[in-house]
Amino acid sequence: MAKKFIILIICVFTTLSVLQAQKTKAVIYFKNGDTIAGLGKITGNYVKYRKNRKVKSSKLHFSKLERVKIYYIDETINYVYLKVKNQDTPKVFEEVAIGDISLYRTVSQGYNPGFGGGFGTMGGAGFSGGYSYAIKNFYLKRIEQDFVIHLGSNQLFTKNFKKAASEFFKDCPKLVKLIQNREFKKRDLIEIVEFYNQQCN
């Protein structure tokens, strides 16, 4: 019973996501300077695009594109295709902050079914109702570089944040001092990048 409930919830989330994507306004910018507008959805390293809801959708690989702008209900996001340090295949990223140091992220969805841990019971098994959550991985890029560097995620930073951030921003001692003193923490990554771009050049 509980297993069927989890599958149902996942299906509902997936259906809602697809329906929303089919209604999302998008502008696609090609490397040759052309643009097209319509409805779009990001799928891996592709954008699934249609001129309007009456026509069949097509897929465009990001290697042909400069960027894709998608207008969600609560925000507008630019998507770009960038190399990752020490990885062979580029990836699609969301732009978060742009400057001499730019911040990018990838966002994927996770689902915790809520079993175990003694948070409640359903049919004799621990059950908390379950919940979905976003896993965000953050990347930094210097303007003179053609690749991004992975710093960590909102779930668990892959490196000691204070050490990794201090190393990356070592050319700005006053920012490193703020990081070392924990006046800037990993949750302040946007503010850290903005501080660097405004006060460290």
DSSP class per residue in 92-120: EEEEEE-SSEEEEEEEEEEEE--BSTTS-
The two three-digit tokens of residue 6, written as one number: 């989890």
Distance of CA 5 to the CA centre of its chain: 28
For 30, the 3-state DSSP assignment is: strand
Instruction: Quickly list DSSP for 63-97.
Output: GGEEEEEEE-SS-EEEEEEEEETT-SS-EEEEEEE
Lookup result for tokens 């990347």 = 139
Closest by CA position to 153, among listed 196, 106, 120: 106
pLDDT of residue 123: 40
Amino acid at 68: V
* 92-139 confidence digits (pLDDT tens): 999 999 999 999 999 887 666 665 444 443 344 444 566 676 788 999
Q: Using only the alpha carbons of the chain, give its radius of gyration.
A: 20
Q: Give the mean model confidence (pLDDT) for residues 61-65.
A: 96
pLDDT of residue 189: 93
Tell me which of 9-18, 135-144, 181-190 is least confident.
Answer: 9-18
Side chain identity at 143, as an amino acid letter? I
Residue type, 116: G
User: Whole-prediction pTM value?
Assistant: 0.76
Burial class (CB in 10 A: 0-12, 13-18, 19+), 128: middle
* 8 Å CB contact between 135 and 155: yes
Mean pLDDT, residues 166-174 taken together: 95
Using 50, 70 and 90 to split pLDDT, how confident is the model at 151? confident
Most confident of 12-21, 39-48, 119-128, 150-159: 39-48
- Mapping DSSP to helix (H, G, I), strand (E, B) and coil, where does residue 7 land? helix
Calculate mean pLDDT across residues 55-82: 95
Q: What is the mean pLDDT of the chain?
A: 82
Model confidence at 54, pLDDT cuts 50, 70, 90, reads: confident
Q: Structure tokens of 10?
A: 């996942």
